[in-house]
Structure 1
Amino acid sequence: MPLAILLAFGAGPIPALGTFGLGLATAIVLSCEVIGLAWYLQRASWFKRFGSILKIDRPQREPIRALLALGLPMAFAWEMEGGLFFVVALLMGRIGGDWAAAHQIAISVASVAFMVPLGLAQAVTVRVGHARGAEDIVGVRRAGVTGLMLALATQTFSAAVMLIFAAQLTRLYAPGAEQLVPLAVQLMFLAGIFQMSDGIQVVAAGALRGLKDTQLPMYITALSYWGIGFPLAWGLGFGTGLGAPGLWIGFIAGLTMAAILLNWRFVVMLRRVWRHGAGERSDRIAVAAPPCSLQRRKGARGGPGSMSWARPAHQSGPWRSRNGPARPVL
């Protein structure tokens, strides 16, 4: 931020570069971030077991194929969501310059609020994946549900801020442009409405990624944003004369549908994981602890009528009783 202000407005011998300075500051910061992370990983003791990041291994087909099978649907899903927002921004220009400016203000505020559930979604992906790898089925559910509840709470707060301070936030973005305030307030109100849907859908998608479920979520996002959201936005924005608010109602519809369907998918996957885990536990118990029966031995050292653990006659193979190797029943 200090670098962006310095390059945009200038100070001393540094000239004011305006918007170019903002872009230049972003490029410099991202480059420094990459260099800093590479330096840290190269020196971190916990990372040494993975080898140097400067060493380039020969490409391996199977790992690359697995990464693409998991990653491409995720990328496509992000493109479906980002593409809807991009196209709606283009359509705003057809409605009017003031509406386009108000849209940019409202979408910028919503994007800042979106960073919180986005971070939660990444944490949920890690926690769900860790629990699934450890076969902790309860942990999978706990991580997903906790993330969804946190997203709902944080986005409720964000929505309240947008609804209460819409005019003040608009004036921060465009001081002196009072004609934008009533327009941006309308869009900010709609942005506050879709905060809950936006937060819930991104966290649910993160939980599904932790379960390596990316194919169906890709189709869900495509249906929600382009099968429902975009047609409704176009129809309300240009067919009914609602204009910019109609386009934003399309946002709400698409994000809400995505939230509903992605949560439904997470519930389905939880049931599958639970059934799969229950089956594995049953098999493991059957192998590790074969059923034994308490039978009466006659003539054993314990005297007539003593009791011992014995394997049923239809079972065979090595096994152990409570007190060491089992003896055949006499």
Structure 2
Amino acid sequence: MTFSNYTKEFKYNLKLAYPVILGMIGHTLVGIVDNIMVGKIGPTELAAVSLGNSFIFIAMSLGIGFSTAITPLVAEAHGKSNREEGRLAFHHGLYLCTILGLILFGFVFFSKPLLSFMGQPEAVVTLAEPYLDIVGFSLVPLIMYQAYKQFADGMSQTKYSMWATIVGNVANVVINYFFIYGIWIFPELGIIGAAIGTIASRIIMLIFMHYIMKSKTKFHYYFEGFTLKEIKKEINLKIIKIGLPSSMQMFFEVALFTGAIWLCGMIGTTSQAANQIALSLASLTFMFAMGLSVTAMVRVANQKGQEDYIMLRTVGLSIFILAVILEIVFAILFIAFHQVLPIIFVNTQDLATIVETQEVISISAQLLIVAAFFQISDGIQVVVLGALRGLQDVKIPMYMTFVAYWVIGFPVSIYLGLYTDMKAVGVWIGLLAGLTAAALFLYLRFDYLTKKLIK
């Protein structure tokens, strides 16, 4: 195989990936907009949103990770031209995601007392608790939306979720503006206003996705016959068998970053606010890799359904190469603008908080240097993980991600963050170590499986 065998796949990869990338960027922008608008109020409010979202991110990782089981099943059925198999995967996936969304809301709601036992500043905890109630309930429409999204992605129809997230993001910005700052007749609610914007935008996304897909003739068959009597135990178990390890894979990574939020909170409010700024920016560029991960999952599953294993490997490697190129570009941008980007998130005109604000900017700039280096590792691990999900290989990667993040990465974060003068920067070096280990382990797994299939 020559390099051109891989690069000629770039055009189709990007054609399939760009709507997913734009949709995921829009999804991430909901959080970034919250951070920017809340950050203008003050560092304590920004830290409170960071702390509250740390719980939400854990629950989201479980829900979104589980929903990814729908995509390879639908994509493989689509590759085999088996509409009934795809319809059943969609219906059962939506049923399970609805139940899971309710369970995750309950988990967040009843976990609130833990905020007081995590060594976080008292003022931050007080603000975070009511914020958490509202954003926690938004998990229900969000995970239901994910079922629609994963089904559409499996059918290689990636534009619908892009439009849904654009509509949701516009709604979030508008609602935030009125309710955070108390514009016109609306009350000034601060971070509670941000929470209202988040839940409203996620409900709008779900409604939009349902009706835009149901209105399309090509999807009519897939929306037929959805009753609880149709739900079968064996299909539920098939989805759970893929979805549970997939949710744990995502949970292990998100929990690592959540652990970083908590560690930075133990170091101080400015470190926690700086962590949130750097994490917001890193999350934005990570969405490009996430889009390519979905592309890898869909294309690999299609080739699996067609039993063309040589093309399967070629497709997978072409997407890995494309991800590395993109992440190198982002790494360069982070290094070039590490002093400038944090200023977007803070209010440098408020003299009452100017000392804290300058400290937040300084720490954020240092974190972005570390983030520049883990862009590449993070991109590789998530794209390879998508390809492995396309192969429906989820159990072994689950163990690999656990070792990478929690045996290697988090201990390094704890030691360097809490027991050395590196503090927040040390926490992020631990993230870099975990992501690099995951990228190496998962690539070796893909390399082994695809060579075995070809033989």
TM-score by length of 1: 0.79
- Per mean C-alpha deviation after superposition, the further-off stretch among 59-68 and 69-78 is 59-68
Q: Distance in 1 between matches of 2:310 and 2:180?
A: 51
- Report deviation, 1:53: 6.8
Counterpart of 2:203 in structure 1 is: 31
Counterpart of 1:206 in structure 2 is: 386
Counterpart of 2:448 in structure 1 is: 268
Q: Distance in 2 between matches of 1:175 and 1:142?
A: 48
Q: Distance in 1 between matches of 2:179 and 2:362?
A: 32
Counterpart of 2:227 in structure 1 is: 55
- Report deviation, 1:58: 3.1
- Per mean C-alpha deviation after superposition, the further-off stretch among 136-145 and 266-275 is 136-145
Residue deviations 1:114-163, cap 9 Å, x none?
11101110111001100111112232122211211121122112112211
Give 2:191's match in structure 1, choosing from 9, 13, 19: 19
Residue 4 (1) aligns with residue 176 (2): yes
Residue deviations 1:33-76, cap 9 Å, x none?
11122222332211222343753343312111111111100001
- Report deviation, 1:28: 0.9
- Per mean C-alpha deviation after superposition, the further-off stretch among 138-147 and 117-126 is 138-147
- Report deviation, 1:9: 2.5
- Per mean C-alpha deviation after superposition, the further-off stretch among 159-168 and 247-256 is 159-168
C-alpha distance 92-53 of structure 1, shift in aligned 2 (>3 A): farther
- Report deviation, 1:199: 0.6
Q: What does 1:148-163 align with in structure 2 at a 5 Å threshold?
A: 148-163=320-335
Instruction: Determine helix, strand or coil for the equivalent of 2:292.
Output: helix
Q: Distance in 1 between matches of 2:337 and 2:225?
A: 47
- Report deviation, 1:3: 3.1
For the aligned residue pairs, the C-alpha RMSD in angstroms reads: 1.5
Residue 70 (1) aligns with residue 250 (2): no
Counterpart of 1:132 in structure 2 is: 304
Larger Rg: 1
The percentage of aligned residue pairs carrying the same residue is 33
Counterpart of 2:411 in structure 1 is: 231
Counterpart of 1:106 in structure 2 is: 278
Alignment check: 8 A CA contact 1:42 1:52 kept? no
Alignment check: 8 A CA contact 1:41 1:53 kept? no
Alignment check: 8 A CA contact 1:128 1:211 kept? yes
Q: Distance in 2 between matches of 1:128 and 1:156?
A: 24
Q: Distance in 1 between matches of 2:227 and 2:371?
A: 46
In structure 1, runs of 5+ residues without a counterpart are 276-330
1:154 aligned partner, one-letter code: L
Counterpart of 1:91 in structure 2 is: 263
Q: Distance in 2 between matches of 1:58 and 1:258?
A: 39
Counterpart of 1:175 in structure 2 is: 347
Counterpart of 1:118 in structure 2 is: 290
Q: Distance in 2 between matches of 1:191 and 1:163?
A: 9
In structure 2, runs of 5+ residues without a counterpart are 1-172, 349-356
Q: What does 1:176-325 align with in structure 2 at a 5 Å threshold?
A: 176=348, 177-275=357-455
Residue 79 (1) aligns with residue 251 (2): yes
Alignment check: 8 A CA contact 1:38 1:53 kept? no
C-alpha distance 245-106 of structure 1, shift in aligned 2 (>3 A): same
2:326 aligned partner, one-letter code: T
* Structure holding more helix per residue: 2
1:46 aligned partner, one-letter code: K
Between Structure 1 and Structure 2, how many residues are aligned?
275
Alignment check: 8 A CA contact 1:121 1:205 kept? yes
Segments ≥4 residues shifted beyond 4 Å: none
